[in-house]
Homo-oligomer: A and B are copies of this chain.
Amino acid sequence: MSAAQPQSPTKDRLLQSATKLFSEKGFEGVSVRQICKDADTSMNMIHHYFGSKEGLFDAILASFTDKVFATPLRVLDQDVQSKAEFVTRLEVFFEETLTALIEQRHLVHMMARHTIAPTAMASLMGNLVSYLATCQAKGYIRAGIDPSMISGFMMDRLANQVLYAAQIKRDTQFDLINDPDYRARWTRSNLELILYGMVSPDLTA
């Protein structure tokens, strides 16, 4: 992965304003004029930096690279030695992925609005599936469970929680973005569920 290019403040402001506006109103609902006004710059700057509104949209998507998930990816990039280590790494992965998605939440909103599943997310899920398959081969995960189902379950849950954080806060007072206690509780409950399921082992018929 190449290092980030130094960017002019104007270019940065355009990216930030456009991400916010696209996430609120959609690509079709935002004009070049609105973006430039929000970014406090002149109309020809989008043409100068991005060629067009389409180019600006693509530049925003391109910023959602594997770098966004550098920490969770690092957590999986280890040879796991015990089941306890597997569980701990999965917990850290879940927490760090949530943190990354919260940091990028305007972009996550923008992509959901346009039903775009970003490459970086697909890549993260691919790494998670490999990690789970390795741990399954070592006997830490039950045979017969499809690792891609676990990965899908985890990512759906994480992405939607970030996407609907505002509604959830309005409806329940729980504030995933700003309340670290709630975030920790939410993370623990979800991991408990995906690890052990809702049905107690001793109740299993």
* Chain B residues, Cβ within 8 Å of A171: 122
Q: Mark A123-165, 1 if CB is under 8 A from B, else 0.
A: 0000000001000000111111110011011001101110110
B117:A164 contact, CB within 8 angstroms: yes
Give the contact stretch, choosing among A5-13, A69-77, A196-204: A196-204
A83 to B144 CA separation, bound complex (whole angstroms): 22
A167:B204 contact, CB within 8 angstroms: no
**Residue ID in chain B nearest A136 by CB atoms:** B198
* Chain B residues, Cβ within 8 Å of A163: 115
A199 to B150 CA separation, bound complex (whole angstroms): 11
* Chain B residues, Cβ within 8 Å of A140: 199, 203
A29: Cβ under 8 A from any B Cβ: yes
Given B27, B115, B153, B200, which contacts A29 in the complex, CB threshold below 8 Å? B27
A142:B199 contact, CB within 8 angstroms: yes
Give the contact stretch, choosing among A40-48, A56-64, A185-193: A185-193
**How many chain-A residues does the 8 Å CB contact rule pick out?**
55
* Chain B residues, Cβ within 8 Å of A201: 201, 204
* Chain B residues, Cβ within 8 Å of A143: 200
A145:B112 contact, CB within 8 angstroms: no
Given B25, B109, B117, which contacts A28 in the complex, CB threshold below 8 Å? B25
A195 to B166 CA separation, bound complex (whole angstroms): 29
16 contacts between A and B (CB under 8 A): A25-B28, A26-B27, A26-B113, A83-B205, A109-B115, A112-B113, A115-B163, A142-B198, A142-B203, A146-B189, A149-B189, A153-B194, A156-B160, A160-B160, A196-B196, A196-B199
**A contact residues vs B (CB 8 Å cutoff):** 25-30, 83-84, 87, 109, 112-115, 117, 122, 132, 139-146, 149-150, 152-153, 156-157, 159-161, 163-164, 166-167, 171, 186, 189-190, 192-201, 203-205
